[in-house]
Structures are given as C-alpha cells and as structure tokens.
Amino acid sequence: MKVGILTSGGDCQALNAAMRGVAKTLFNKCPGVKIIGIEDGYRGMIYGRFHEMSGEDFSGILTKGGTILGTAREPFKHIREIGEDGLDKVKSMEDFYRRNKLDCLVVLGGNGSIKTASLLSSRGLNVVVLPKTIDNDIFGTDMTFGFMSAVDVAVNAIDCIHTTAASHSRVFIVEVMGHKTGHLALNAGIAGGADIILLPEIPYKIEKIIAKIEEREKAGHHFTIVVAAEGAVSMDDLRLSKKQLKLRREKMPVSFELAAQIRLMSGKDVRVTIPGHTQRGGSPDAYDRILSSRLGAAAAGFIIEKKFGVLAALTGSKITPVPLEEVAGKLKNVDVLSDEVMEAKALGICFGD
Ligand code: F6P
C-alpha cells in the first residue's frame, strides 16, 4: 500500500502529532506500507515536490509545532483556473496521484483544503481528511486539532493583560484570530475571565460596550477586558458590503477602531494587544496531542477499511467517518443560542448585543 500525506492551509499545533498518529498506525498494521510526504500542501502535488518517509521521520514529533512537511495556501476559488505557468492544477494533482500509484491521499486541512479534497475525491481519488484549524469551524466535527492549543495561547495573553489592566485602570482589547467564526474568542474569553466578548456571529453596539465599562466603574472595577475576534462586526458594519468591510479592516483592525471609539466615548485609557500568529505556534497542548493522535489512528483505520472520501470527525467521544460532500463548503459558526453563549451571558459577560 502507498499513502500520500500533506498538510494544507494555515498551520496549527498538532499537525505533526496527527501525521505521526496516521503513520504509526499504518506502519503497525500494514507491513510494507509506503508513506509519501508531499511538501507544502497541494503545491507539492501540483509541482511534484515529495519524498518517501520512514518511521524515523515520525519519531519525536508528537510535541513539535508547525509541520515537518511545510504548508501553503492554495485557494480553492482559483484551483480550477489555469495559472500563469499554464498548469491545470487539478489535472496535475490527479496525474501526481496516479503517476505515484497512490492508494490514498491523506489531507490535514481546514475548510478551503476540504473543498479541494472533496473535488479530488469526486474525481476518483481516495481521500481521507483530518480536521485541522485553530478556528474550530469545520462543519461535521465537534472539535478540530489546534483549537485548544490556540485557546491556551490566547488565554495566557489575556491572563498577562489582566494584571497590567488592573494596575493601570485601563480598558484592554485583546484581539484573537477568527475572521469568520468566534469559537476561539468565545472560549478564550470565558477561560480568560473577559468582561466583554465580541464575535463575528453577534454584531455589537458600541453603546452596550460603553454601558458595560461604566457598570464596572460604578461597581469599583476600574479596568475592563474585551476579547474581540478579528472578524467581530458592529451593527453599523452590517451596512457595508463584504468588500467594503474587508478594505476597511485592511486599513484598521477592529480592535484599533474599537479602542478609538471607547477612548472617545468613555474617556478611559485604552490599549490593544494582538497575539496574532503566536496563537498558531509552539507545542500542542495535552488535549490536542490526544485528539490528533486519535484522529490519526482512526484515519489510518479508515484507509485500511477502504472508507474513502471522508473526514475523520470527533462526534461526541467517538471518531467517525463523515462524507466529504456533507462537510465541504459549510462553516461551523458559533451557535448564538447555544448553552455555552447563554451560560457566558449568565456569568455577566457582555456580547455587545
Ligand atoms: O484559519 C486559521 C487562521 O489562523 C485564521 O484564524 C486567521 O484569520 C488566518 O488563519 C490568518 O492567516 P495567515 O496565516 O494567512 O495570515
């Protein structure tokens, strides 16, 4: 058996741990299996960059951040276009698969990568996907690997900010990743004891934010911690088109815009902290090591059982194969009526709504 493996899209913690899970299981259960490491995501298939990997390559990488194969964004919206180099990317990937006589392609990817994986699957390639992203926004799985580690990094930043915010009686905005979905902001906000959490799914009114800051002032708390997803939107932003909002955010991140408004309307001293890509870096936490190892082992099982065209998904406490066509093109947003959001509100956290 010959299995190709690649990591695609933005990196995250536990990519190596997940690949190790796949490889260890295959080496254990399928004597003679060959694993082909495809470099820099789908680009490795398009441009023929790969190498055969031995058990040694997967040794000692459980705790290693990043990806030993490299990764790249190869946007799905351009995947069927002929590039400047005249290459038909989809055909190149199909040719790569057949030329190298692969029996299966394992993709560790997020939403964009899943669309490409689904396309390749519909063209007859045997594909198994593992859900990776710090955003936890992949439809069909309760959890993605990378997410909890990113929450830990963001919470660590919020914890550090808490002490300095209190010392200086300041309002602090910690802007965390998450353009389209707010799972990271919601969870980091709850774990970090945020007073205000702003999500793309719940448009905020600046007046509500000011009211919360004033309520805290009156109660003798002279500092406020706001955790905002980078894709948080105000009610006013809803009047803008997607393109207009994108242009505006390129000029000024939401946190800086908010900081200026809060300063003006409350007279408080306001600061912004953006942990940025640190949220994707460093070692995976224990949760992600376990989840990615389990997903890897289960994905190898799907390959052995010839269950192809599936995402290895966490469903409750089980890892189950979910058909790619049920997942591709769908986004798992924060459910604004979920228990988690309601409980956060019950705790007194303001969402600006
Ligand atoms: O999808 C993961 C993610 O980390 C998002 O949360 C973030 O908006 C984006 O990637 C950043 O992408 P890049 O690494 O291309 O700057």
Do residue 75 and residue 189 come from a single domain?
Answer: no
122 and 36 part of one domain: yes
Using the atom order of ligand 1, give the atom closest to the CA of residue 135: 6
Q: For residue 345, tell me if it sits in a domain.
A: no
Average pLDDT over residues 43-67: 98
Task: Determine the pLDDT at residue 1.
Answer: 98
How many A from CA of 179 to the centre of ligand 1?
Answer: 8
Report CA(264)–ligand 1 centroid distance (Å): 31
Q: How many domains does the chain have?
A: 2
- Which amino acid is residue 103, in one-letter code? D
Check 11, 135, 195, 285 and give the catalytic one: 135
Q: Domain with 264 in it: what CATH number?
A: 3.40.50.460
Tell me which residue has its CA closest to atom 12 in ligand 1.
Answer: 10
Same-domain status, 129 and 163:
no
Whether 218 is in a domain gets the answer yes
Catalytic site residue 152? no
Contact 280 CB / ligand 1 (< 6 Å): yes
What is the gyration radius of the CA atoms in the chain, in angstroms?
A: 22
Edge-to-edge strand order for the sheet containing 50-53? 50-53, 34-38, 2-7, 104-109, 127-131, 310-315, 318-323
* Domain encompassing residue 312: 2-146+284-327
16, 132: one domain = yes
Instruction: With respect to residue 341, please indicate whether it lies within any of the assigned structural domains.
Output: no
Instruction: Assess whether 130 and 115 both reside in one domain.
Output: yes
In a shared domain, residues 141 and 160: no
Q: What is the rounded average pLDDT of the residues 52-66?
A: 98
Centre of ligand 1 from the C-alpha of residue 221, in Å: 34
Q: Say whether both 140 and 34 belong to one domain.
A: yes
Residue range 2-54, pLDDT digits in tens: 999 999 999 999 999 999 999 999 999 999 999 999 999 999 999 999 999 99
Beta-bridge partners for 196: 226, 350
Among protein residues, the one with the nearest Cα to ligand 1's atom 11 is 10
In terms of domains, do 52 and 181 share one? no
pLDDT > 90? residue 83: no
Same domain, 67 and 171: no
Residues 304 and 291 in one domain: yes
pLDDT band at residue 257 under the 50/70/90 scheme:
very high
74 and 165, same domain (yes or no):
no
177 CB within 6 A, ligand 1: yes
314 Cα: distance to centroid of ligand 1 (angstroms)? 22
133 Cβ closer than 6 Å to some ligand 1 atom? yes
> Does the CB atom of residue 253 touch ligand 1 within 6 A?
no
Q: Which pLDDT belongs to residue 157?
A: 98
Q: For residue range 98-148, what is the model confidence (pLDDT) as tens digits?
A: 999 999 999 999 999 999 999 999 999 999 999 999 999 999 999 999 999
Atom of ligand 1 nearest to the CA of 9: 1
179 CB under 6 A from ligand 1? Answer: yes
